[in-house]
Amino acid sequence: MARGWERRGKIKAVDLAHTVARAGVERIIYTDVIRDGMLGGLNIEQTLLLARESGLKVTAAGGVSSLEDIKRLKQLIAFGVDSVIVGKALYEGRFTLREAAQALL
């Protein structure tokens, strides 16, 4: 999505990742905007694909609903997915920040 998620972009996420990697960017935030704020779980498959295809470090975002989502992300560290943005799940008390940090140990 583009322009504050108001317009659909004409480039695929992986193609944009390749472009910014060539420009010297080392990390991107990948947000699945369909899942963002919906508490439906991360798009693990697309996040992994993006990290593997681009070679960039990836911060995953959009849809974290449980500690299980965070534990699944831990399995992607070797592929460059090494951080996550959590919002609504924390606000709604589904888990604490301390519990999230412990899930990554």
Give me the tens of pLDDT residue by residue for the chain, a chain 105 residues long: 666 667 777 888 899 999 999 999 999 999 886 666 667 678 899 999 999 999 999 999 988 999 999 999 999 999 999 999 999 999 999 999 999 999 988
Any idea what DSSP says for residue 56?
-
Check: pTM over 0.85? Answer yes or no.
Answer: yes
What number of residues does the chain have? 105
* Single-letter amino acid, residue 87: G
Out of 3.20.20.70, 3.20.20.140, 3.30.70.270, 3.30.70.260, the CATH code matching 13-103 is: 3.20.20.70
> Hey, where are the domains in the chain?
13-103
Any idea what DSSP says for residue 2?
B
What CA–CA distances, in Å, run from 91 to 39, 59, 64, 77, 97? 11, 20, 12, 25, 10
